[in-house]
Amino acid sequence: MSVRVGICGLGTVGGGTVNVLRRNADLCAARAGTDIQIVQIGARSVNPDCDSDKIPVVADVFAVATNPDVDIVVELIGGSTVARELVLAAIASGKHVVTANKALIAEHGNEIFAAAREQGVTVAFEAAVAGGIPIIKALRDGLSANRIEWVAGIINGTGNFILTEMRDKGRDFADVLAEAQALGYAEADPTFDVEGIDAAHKLVILAALAFGMPLRFDAVYTEGISEIAPEDVVYAEELGYRIKHLGIARQREQGVELRVHPTLVPEECLIAQVNGVMNAVMVKGDAVGPTLYYGAGAGAEPTASAVVADIIEIARASVAQSPSSLVPASPLGVAVDALRDPGVLAIADTVSAHYLRVSALDKPGVLSQLATIMSARGISIEALIQKEPRPGEDRVPLIMLTNETLESNLRAALTEIEALESVVGSVVHIRKDGLDGQT
C-alpha cells in the first residue's frame, strides 16, 4: 500500500516539495511506514528546477483536489480565493490537506478546520509559519503540557534582512529594500512583507495554537518597518537593544495581545542575534520557561521540508486503520469545539515599555516639561540620551526608554508632548519588549 499525493501548484515550494519527496523517497517511506507516491500534479506549466518526470501534470488543480486516486491534496498555489475553494473541494472529497498557505489559514482557517472536522479529515500547515522550523508541531505537541504565556517571533525574513542590513551597515530603509528586491528577497510590491501583513498572518496561526483560540486575523495590530530611521537603530544600540520586527502574542488577564511591530529587544537575547533572512520564534510556557526555535523561514527546500513532514505525518496515520483519528483531534491541537476566544485586546489596551525620540528645540526647560507630562501619567523614564545639537542646528534629539505602561496612556502623553512649543514634529515611538528578561 502506498499513500497517494496530489500536488497543486508547481512554483518554488511545489517544485521543492517534488524534489524532496523524490530525493528522499527511501527515508520518507521508512519514516512514514509506507511509500509516498506523487500521483498527479496540477499546474499550468512545469517547473524547470523540479524533477517532475513521469508524473502526470494537469492544468486544472480542481481535478487533483477531487481525483479519487489521491489521498492527500497538497495546496501550494498561494493566495486565498482559489486556494480556499480548492481546499474546501478537497475536504469535501474526503482528502487530507497539506498547505503552506498562511494567508489562507489565517483568513479562512476557522471555516476550513470546521469543514475538515465535518468530513473526518485533517489539515496540516507546518509550512505556513516560519518555513522549515517545526514551530507548529512544537506548539501542538512538544509544548502541549504548558500554559503558553507568550510567543514572540521574527517571522518575516525580508523584514529581518532589511533591519539587519540597516544595523550592520548604517544604511537606510529604502536603500536596503531596493537591494532586497534585486536579490529576490522582497517582492516588487513589498507591502505584505515590510508592512507586517505576512507576519500578521503567521502570528494569528501561532496564537491560535498557543492559546487554543480561533484564528483572529481581523484583530491583529500591524505596524511595518518602513518608518524606522537609521538613527533609531543607532540609538537603540547605544541603549543596549536591537530593533527587530516581531510578531507578539501574549496572554493577559483581560485578553490576548496580538501585535506585529518593530520592537527593541535586549541585545543579549538570543533572538536579537538572529540575522539576515533567518527566522526564529520564542515561546514561553509556564512549565518549560523560555524556548527558541530557529531556522530558514522561506525558500524552496526549507518550506518543502515542512510540507513533506506533514505528508509523512498523515501517511503514518494512514498506515493504521483509522486515519482520521490518528492525527490530533484538531489541526490546532484541541478539538474545534474546544476552542475558546479569550478576546483580543485593542492596541490602546496593551501594555508595553517604549522607546521615544523627541525632536526638541535647544532651549532650557524642555526636558523638565517632558518629565512633568510623563510623571503626571505615571510613566517613568528608565534611560535617557540627550546629545548636544550639531553645529548650526537648533534642534536636539531626546531619546528615552519608558517603563511599561498602557498604550492609551502613552499616546495621551505623546499628544501633550507634541503640543509643546519646544517640540518639533511628532514623537518617534517604538515598543520595547524585555521578553521577561530571558535570553
Q: Which residues are catalytic?
A: 202
423 — phi, psi (to 5°)? -105, 135
| One of 293, 359, 367, 416 touching its own copies (CB under 8 A) | 293
Contact pattern from residue 119 through residue 158 relative to its own copies, giving x for each residue in contact according to CB under 8 A and a dash for the rest: -------x----xxxx--xx--xxxxxxx-----------
- Span of 97-105, 326-334, 380-388, 416-424 interacting with its own copies by CB under 8 A: 326-334
Query: For residues 225 and 334, which CB has a smaller minimum distance to its own copies in the complex?
Result: 334
* Binding flag, residue 7, its own copies (CB under 8 A): no
* Binding flag, residue 188, its own copies (CB under 8 A): no
* Binders of its own copies in range 265-284 (CB under 8 A): 270, 273-275, 278
| One of 46, 63, 92, 329 touching its own copies (CB under 8 A) | 329
* Binders of its own copies in range 208-227 (CB under 8 A): 212
* Binders of its own copies in range 361-420 (CB under 8 A): none
Which residue in 191, 202, 5 sits closest to 104, CA to CA? 202
* Binding flag, residue 11, its own copies (CB under 8 A): no
Query: For residues 11 and 63, which CB has a smaller minimum distance to its own copies in the complex?
Result: 11
- Span of 226-234, 332-340, 389-397, 420-428 interacting with its own copies by CB under 8 A: 332-340
- Structure-block grid coordinates of residue 122: 485533517
| One of 196, 302, 331, 397 touching its own copies (CB under 8 A) | 302
Query: For residues 79 and 276, which CB has a smaller minimum distance to its own copies in the complex?
Result: 276
# chain residues binding its own copies, by CB under 8 A? 70
- Span of 215-223, 296-304, 391-399, 415-423 interacting with its own copies by CB under 8 A: 296-304
Give me the least distance between CB of 235 and its own copies, in Å please.
23
192 — phi, psi (to 5°)? -55, -40
Could you tell me how far CA 59 lies from the centroid of its own chain? Answer: 32
- Span of 21-29, 111-119, 254-262, 353-361 interacting with its own copies by CB under 8 A: 21-29
* Binding flag, residue 353, its own copies (CB under 8 A): no
| One of 6, 14, 16, 196 touching its own copies (CB under 8 A) | 16
Query: For residues 295 and 397, which CB has a smaller minimum distance to its own copies in the complex?
Result: 295
Binding site for its own copies (CB under 8 A): 16, 20-21, 23-24, 27-28, 30-33, 126, 131-134, 137-138, 141-147, 212, 270, 273-275, 278, 285-296, 299, 301-302, 304-309, 311-313, 316-317, 319-322, 325-326, 328-329, 333-335, 338, 439
